[in-house]
Structures are given as structure tokens and as C-alpha cells.
Amino acid sequence: MAEATRPILIVGGGIGGLATALALATKGYRSHVLEQAAEFKEIGAGIQLGPNVFKMFSILGMGLGMGLAENIRRLATFPESLIMMDCVTGEVVARIPLGQEFLARFQFPYALIHRADLLNVLLEACQQCDRITLETSRQVTAMTDHGDHVTVTTKEGPTHDGAALIGADGLWSTIRSLLLHDDKPRVSGHIAYRAVLPTAEVPERLRWQTMAFWAGEKTHLVIYPIRGGELTNLVAVFHSKRYEEGWDSFGDPAELHERFAGTCEEVRTMLSKIESWRMWVLCDREPVKCWTRGRVALLGDAAHPMLQYLAQGACMAVEDAVCLANQLEQAGGDFERAFQAYNQMRYLRTARAQLTARLYGEVYHASGVAREVRNQVLSQRTPQQAYDGLAWIYDGIEGTPPRSS
């Protein structure tokens, strides 16, 4: 275990930033998380967690002597299957079982959880850890790498010194623009409308214990239960030229209904249940080979933002956190060497996720003959073939966590 004299500064207290603070604590490092918002908070929507991230939660929990994975499991919902249906006909195209067979293959479960619940578990773990300092209302605007330490300036005034700096400040990362001087994120032309509905308002015939989605021409709709089935999470995605930078503004239901006209009755029924949607302009970036310099490294969406089609952005951020802390331990606290090794170990896997997510988006939104080919190919896959196709993601990265029960 190593202990730097100054804490490691982490800019951003989202899933990636908090997971990084926990991962560093498992290796004996102090950290100071600077979050621009007035509180540590996630948006009111669901998130899917693959077995690869549960492996990471187990490693973190073991390192901290806390039941982190168990606390997340307590709040999560475990779907029986992942079902893809055709948006026009409503027919089931593919069904991937997520029960015992899946668990036997990947050792860890597939789960659905409210984002706020996940963030709260991470936050509480950070609050219990005396190696972690959490500070809100601190928007980092500038940084200087002095060679032997790093200083950041905040909009609110105070500056902070740290042994090193990790930019976990998301898609619109300030640290990334200071480090890499690259362009803004790429606007994909895909828009997501999100909402959460009390399940009591969902027709009984559509109350499923599954992660279900209907794939259609330039559209798809995802529904899944969260909070033990009390709530249903909806994500409606469609292509649109409309562009508003950033996240989380209100959606226009008229545009949504227009885009989903011609879809099957189940889809239109679900969409009609929601009056107020939040809208996200979906962006990603071209993968880059290098996201670290000197004592500064990027992590999560700041390093490799991806479209949501693989449901892996947050999972990859947590993998980053565990990998980075491992490398720091192995480099004996040599930040530059550790960050380079971390970058080297992560960039191909995360680039593959970025590129595959784009491809999945095309497959989900296929039309004409491409849609027929998709339906034919996916409907013929056995569960084992589906698992094999997902193994590069779900087998996760190296680590020796306890086996899942």
C-alpha cells in the first residue's frame, strides 16, 4: 500500500468519479472529489448493469471490507431475460435468458437499478471511508501539472493541490479539453426521451420481469422494471436533426408520437402513458489512443464516451476505476507510469465498446431488407451463441473477486 502526501484530485462525482475514489481507497490512496453540482446526484432514470461491473463491485467491496455489491443487489431488479421485439409487428425477434444459465456462464448477474440508488450506494461507501474527501459546488475550470504535483482552480474561488488529477467529468469534460484540446463530442443525430412510470399505470399484459425493447426503423423503445418492479423505466430513441447541446431538457411529445407512428399497439400504448419526458441528445467521440499526460488522466465518459446501445458506459467507467487503482499499486505510486499503463490497458477495450455501440444502434434501427436480415439472424441464435457474442464484454477484466452466489 502506498500513501501520497497530497490527495489525488478527482474532478466529477458521478458513477465514474465515486468508483475511482473507492478504488483508490482500496489501495491506500487518499482522494478529494470535486463535484460542480450542489449535491452528488444522478438523474431519475434506470440503468442496466452487466456482470462485468458486478465483478468490479465485488472487487471494490472486498478491498474496502464493505458489502458494496450486496448493497447494490439489494436495490437492484434481476430480469429473467432480455427480449428484442420488432417495433412494427410486435413479434419477439430474440430472447436471451438472464437466469441460472447466464449466471453459470458469466458468474455475475445482469441487473436493472434506479440510477439514484446506485449512486447513493457508492456515495455512502465514500462517506464511510476516511481516505475520501467529498466536496460539492466546486466547478474546476483550470489545472496545472507542476511535475511533482497538480493544482486545480475552481469557479467558486478556491484552488486545490493534489498528487495527481483524474478527470471523471463526463461527456463535456473540462479536463479533457484542457488535456487533449480536441473538438466537442460528436452529435449522433439520435435523441433519447426518458421517463419513469409507476408500474401500476402499465397495462398488466406489459408488466414483464424482463429488459425488453422494440426495434424499429430509426427508432426503438426500451422498457424495464426498477425498484423491485414498483417503477418502470422507459427510454424512447429516435433519429432527429434537432440539436441541443448537453443533457436533460424537456422533450416534445408531439415529435415523439410522430416518430413512433406506425409502430405496434404495445409501443404506442406505452408511449401514451407518459406526458412529461426528459430529452438527451446522444453524443459520443471517435476513440483516441491517449487520454493521459504526466500526472493527469481521464476516466469514464471523459475518456471514451459511447452511445448507450451496449448499456456499458457506466460499467466501463467502473472498470476504468479498478484498473487505474491496480496500475497505481503496481507502479508503486509512480503516477506517470501508472497512468500510462492504465491508458494502455483500457483504450482498446473501451474503443471496441464505443464502436460496437454505434453498430448496435444501426442494427436496432434497421429498415427494409436490413431489418429482415437482422430479424432472421437474431431469431436463429441460441442462448449460448448470444452469450458467446457478448463474452468479450461480460467476462470483464482481470480480477479475482469472490464468486457470485
308 binds ligand FAD (CB under 6 A): yes
What is the rounded distance in angstroms from the CA atom of residue 39 to the CA atom of residue 13? 9
- Contacting residue, 213, 301, 319, 393, with ligand FAD by CB under 6 A: 301
- Contacting residue, 4, 10, 13, 217, with ligand FAD by CB under 6 A: 13
37 binds ligand FAD (CB under 6 A): yes
Q: Restricting to residues 248-287, name those near ligand FAD by CB under 6 A.
A: 280, 282
What is the rounded distance in angstroms from the CA atom of residue 153 to the CA atom of residue 176? 15
Strands 231-239 and 249-250, sheet pairing:
unpaired
Grid coordinates standing for 287? 476513440
Grid coordinates standing for 61? 467491496
DSSP H/E element including 350: helix 335-364
H helices within 154-260, ranges in order?
174-180, 253-259
166 binds ligand FAD (CB under 6 A): no
* Amino acid (one-letter) located at 18: L
* Rounded least distance, CB 387 to ligand FAD, Å: 19
58 binds ligand FAD (CB under 6 A): no
Which residue, 176 or 295, is less far from ligand FAD as judged by CB? 176
Which residue, 287 or 375, is less far from ligand FAD as judged by CB? 287
Q: Restricting to residues 122-141, name those near ligand FAD by CB under 6 A.
A: 138-140
* Rounded least distance, CB 204 to ligand FAD, Å: 26
Stretch that binds ligand FAD, among 32-40, 84-92, 370-378, 389-397 (CB under 6 A): 32-40
Q: Restricting to residues 317-376, name those near ligand FAD by CB under 6 A.
A: 317
Grid coordinates standing for 60? 471494490
Which residue, 145 or 375, is less far from ligand FAD as judged by CB? 145
Closest CA to 201 of 271, 273, 268, 265: 273
Which residue, 94 or 306, is less far from ligand FAD as judged by CB? 306
* Rounded least distance, CB 368 to ligand FAD, Å: 26
Q: Which residues pair with 164 in a beta bridge?
A: 8
CB atoms inside a 10 Å sphere around CB 138 = 20
Closest CA to 326 of 396, 392, 398: 398
Closest CA to 281 of 237, 239, 243: 243
Phi-psi bin for 227: left (phi > 0), alpha (psi -120 to 50), beta?
left
16 binds ligand FAD (CB under 6 A): yes
- Contacting residue, 7, 17, 51, 185, with ligand FAD by CB under 6 A: 17
* Rounded least distance, CB 332 to ligand FAD, Å: 27
- Contacting residue, 169, 217, 266, 284, with ligand FAD by CB under 6 A: 169
Strands 231-239 and 111-114, sheet pairing:
unpaired
Q: Restricting to residues 208-247, name those near ligand FAD by CB under 6 A.
A: 235
Which residue, 37 or 290, is less far from ligand FAD as judged by CB? 37
Sheet with 292-293: list strands edge to edge. Answer: 132-135, 31-34, 8-11, 164-167, 296-298, 292-293
Grid coordinates standing for 124? 455512502
What is the rounded distance in angstroms from the CA atom of residue 175 to the CA atom of residue 85? 41
* Rounded least distance, CB 259 to ligand FAD, Å: 16
User: What number of chain residues touch ligand FAD (CB under 6 A)?
Assistant: 35
Stretch that binds ligand FAD, among 30-38, 121-129, 142-150, 254-262 (CB under 6 A): 30-38
196 binds ligand FAD (CB under 6 A): no
Task: Please check whether residue 357 is in contact with residue 312, taking contact to mean a CB–CB distance below 8 angstroms.
Answer: yes
Which residue, 35 or 266, is less far from ligand FAD as judged by CB? 35
Strands 186-198 and 231-239, sheet pairing:
antiparallel
Which residue, 151 or 379, is less far from ligand FAD as judged by CB? 151
- Which positions lie near ligand FAD, rule CB under 6 A? 11-17, 34-37, 47-48, 138-140, 168-171, 174, 192, 235, 280, 282, 300-302, 308, 311-315, 317
